[in-house]
Amino acid sequence: MLSFALTIVRHGETQYNRDKLLQGQGIDTPLSDTGHQQAAAAGQYLRDLHFTNVFVSNLQRAVQTAEIILGNSLHSSATEMILDPLLRERGFGVAEGRPKEHLKNMANAAGQACRDYTPPGGETLEQVKSRFKKFLRSLYQRMLEEHGSADQRSAFTSGPSEPEQPVIAGLADDGVQNVPVHALIVSHGAFIRVSVRHLVEDLQCCLPAGLKMNQIFSPCPNTGISRFIITLRREESGPRASCIQCVFINRKDHLDDVKNS
């Protein structure tokens, strides 16, 4: 069995974020000045970690964020950045480019909660989850192909025993001290929210003590950071996650100085 860390970061702020306008997939905007500062703060926070793999949405706000994070890294600046459209934001159809309040009004008119409403031409939550599940399958396969060789014994556990509980001390390296294989994802708010819900509810990942459900499913702030430890098992039908442990969700300690500047 191969265990690896998965750190998920939302992109930095754009002007559309500041103005509370929906971007989705059709509005491809760059980071704002604050977004650059947030990405740099996230990069400084993560600078001592080694990312063996980096996967990024191919929308420019995510690409810029990933480039800044890797540019601040002491050990991962040369890691290949793979752009994957599966990691794009949820498509919001006709609501893209419009105020978020407009989406709420459309949902109210349809008699639905805003979170569950799909505007015309947009992606349903199930479609977004299907994209994430497809990404996970390719991620699992890649992790085993690249890191599943016999010389990676330190990344493996053997037998039926569960992995140890990750150490959580409020530090950037929480959960990864003894996990040499570490993938970084840079994606988007609505996509991350659906992904975390899938990991927690559908795949029943183990949660750290004291973490409340309203914290788990709250919106991820710009450059908010979440981390999971995933243990893979080889099966005839393909690799499967035998254990998923949540280390933290939507951490934003690194943004304190950005807010105060």
- pLDDT value for 59: 98
Side chain identity, residue 99: P
Please give the DSSP secondary-structure letter assigned to residue 16: H
Highest mean pLDDT pick, 156-160, 200-204, 208-212: 200-204
Q: Angle formed by the axes of helices 33-45 and 60-71, to 10°?
A: 40
- The yes-or-no answer on residue 235 being catalytic is no
Domain borders along the chain are 2-93+124-149+172-255
Which one of 89, 123, 147, 254 is the catalytic residue? Answer: 89
pLDDT for residue 260: 55
Binding residues for substrate: 10-17, 61, 100
pLDDT for 209: 86
217-220, long-range: CB < 8 A, 24+ apart: 217/193, 218/250, 219/189, 219/193, 220/10, 220/189, 220/192, 220/193, 220/196, 220/250
| Gap between the Cα atoms of 127 and 125, Å rounded | 5
Instruction: Report pLDDT for 153.
Output: 42
Residues 205-260: pLDDT tens digits?
A: 999 988 888 888 899 999 999 999 999 999 998 899 999 999 999 999 999 988 75
pLDDT at 167: 74
| Whether residue 151 has pLDDT greater than 70 | no
- Give the span between the Cα atoms of 91 and 93, in whole angstroms: 6
Residue type for position 182: H
Res 254: pLDDT: 96
What's the pTM value of the predicted model, to 2 decimals?
0.93
User: Catalytic residue at 89?
Assistant: yes
Closest Cα partner for 183 from 152, 228, 137, 216? 228
| 34 pLDDT above the threshold of 80 | yes
Separation of alpha carbons 237 and 234, rounded Å: 8
pLDDT per residue as tens digits for the range 51-104: 999 999 999 999 999 999 999 999 999 999 999 999 999 999 999 999 999 999
Angle formed at CA 156 by CA 155 and CA 157, multiple of 5 degrees: 135
**Mean pLDDT throughout 12-28?**
97
Q: What pLDDT, on a 0 to 100 scale, did the predictor assign at position 163?
A: 62
User: pLDDT value at position 231?
Assistant: 96
Q: Give me the percent of the chain exceeding a pLDDT of 90.
A: 82
For the cut 50, the answer to whether the pLDDT of residue 159 exceeds it is no
Task: Provide the mean pLDDT of the chain.
Answer: 92
pLDDT at 49 over 60: yes
**Angle ∠(21,104,197) on CA atoms, nearest 5:** 85
Q: Which residues contact 257 (CB under 8 A, 6 or more apart)?
A: 41
**3-state SS of 88-118?**
CCCCEHHHCCCEHHHHHHHHHHHCCCHHHCC
Q: pLDDT band at 162, cuts 50/70/90?
A: low
CATH number for the domain whose boundaries are 2-93+124-149+172-255: 3.40.50.1240
pLDDT band at 148 (very low <50, low <70, confident <90, very high): confident
Mean pLDDT of 42-52: 98
Per-residue model confidence (pLDDT) at position 250: 96
